[in-house]
Amino acid sequence: MSLMDERNRSTAMDWSPAKSESSLPSPVRSRSRSGSPSPPPPKTITINLFPLTDSIEFAPKHLSFSPDQEIKVGRVSGSRNQKEAKADNGVFSCDVMSREHALLKEENGKILIKDLKSTHGTFVNNVRLGDGTVESDWRVLNHRDIITFGHSVRRNQSKSYTYCLS
């Protein structure tokens, strides 16, 4: 079992508009000084990343996107300037991920992903994005897609590193 193990591919992605848009009544719009209505607040989309069977363990992540916002996905580097892994960011504590592994963005109400030349790859539903030598093209994510960041790697006889699935 040196590289891939199919049962490890087990993280799901779920996305939906933020609660403020889908379940709450529309706010009354205030009027500007000129009397015209002020523009509506920008829509927010939230994706939820959950570990599935045999993935590394991580707390579910809830990433919220404003229009045209990008979120980098990568591993903790140990640098003082590096963010720590939290439920609301794209940082994971996972040895087979690159520091700058992938990029997620919102565009026209859709969430897109691309690989940033990561060493061990970014996969959507078991299909690798790009070949690791150049950034991949953007790919639209769908409800319940399985995203894999990296793959299992055996570095020596006693230690195996498992990839991150979300």
Kindly state the percentage of the chain with pLDDT values over 90. 31
Tell me, what's the pLDDT at 151? Answer: 74
Closest CA to 123 of 105, 100, 143, 141: 141
Model confidence pLDDT, tens digit, residues 67-80 = 889 999 998 877 66
Tell me, what's the pLDDT at 152? Answer: 67
Q: Are 56 and 162 in contact (CB under 8 A)?
A: yes
Model confidence pLDDT, tens digit, residues 91-120 = 888 877 888 999 999 999 999 999 999 988
User: 50: phi > 0 → left, psi -120 to 50 → alpha, else beta; which?
Assistant: beta
Tell me, what's the pLDDT at 67? Answer: 86
Count of other CB atoms within 10 angstroms of residue 60? 13
Q: Who wins on pLDDT, 86 or 140?
A: 140
CATH topology classification for 7-22+41-165: Tumour Suppressor Smad4 (2.60.200)
In the chain, DSSP assigns E strands to 11-17, 45-51, 61-65, 70-75, 91-92, 102-107, 110-115, 122-124, 127-128, 139-140, 147-149, 153-154, 160-161, 164-165
